[in-house]
Amino acid sequence: MGLSAYRAVCALVFLASAAVAPSVWAHAHLKQPTPAANSVVNAPQRITLAFSEGVEPGFSGVVITNAQQQVIKTGAVKRDEQDKALLIVPLEHALAAGTYQVDWHVVSVDGHKTKGSYSFSVK
């Protein structure tokens, strides 16, 4: 392979990686859930999910289930007014002792979708 062909291949690889990399980085990843994953806590009044970037609450959602797979009633999921990366999920009733799973899905402000889940326990 000649020097000019080698440079062309290198330039092409660079442009392809530069085009793909921003879309990989542009996803809202869960940074800090409260209660924390795998934690044992007193019954919380709400669940908060802090993401790596802003999220659209109208296209995002959270489902909380107990160990018997019963869905826990929550208030409307809303975004913190000062922090577009923080979702707040108010709980309608105090959680009883047991293990709970939080399943979430969000759409970041730039339109990318992510989802995940974690669990915590109430003492």
| Pair of tokens at residue 33 | 């859930």
The pLDDT assigned to 110 comes to: 87
Q: Is the pLDDT of residue 30 over 60?
A: yes
The pLDDT assigned to 19 comes to: 46
Start-to-end Cα distance in the chain: 67
- pLDDT band per the 50, 70, 90 thresholds, residue 4: low
* DSSP label of 28: -
- How far, in Å, CA of 49 to CA of 42, rounded? 18
The pLDDT assigned to 12 comes to: 52
From the candidate CATH numbers 2.60.40.650, 2.60.40.1220, 3.40.190.10, 3.30.1360.200, the one assigned to the domain spanning 27-122: 2.60.40.1220
Percent of the chain with pLDDT over 70: 79
- How far, in Å, CA of 65 to CA of 61, rounded? 13
Q: Is the pLDDT of residue 3 over 50?
A: yes
- Shortest CA distance to 88 belongs to which of 101, 106, 71, 70? 106
Q: Is the pLDDT of residue 20 over 80?
A: no
- pLDDT band per the 50, 70, 90 thresholds, residue 23: very low
Q: Is the pLDDT of residue 5 over 80?
A: no
| Pair of tokens at residue 87 | 């979702």
pLDDT digits over 31-67, tens only?
A: 999 999 999 999 999 999 999 999 999 999 999 999 9
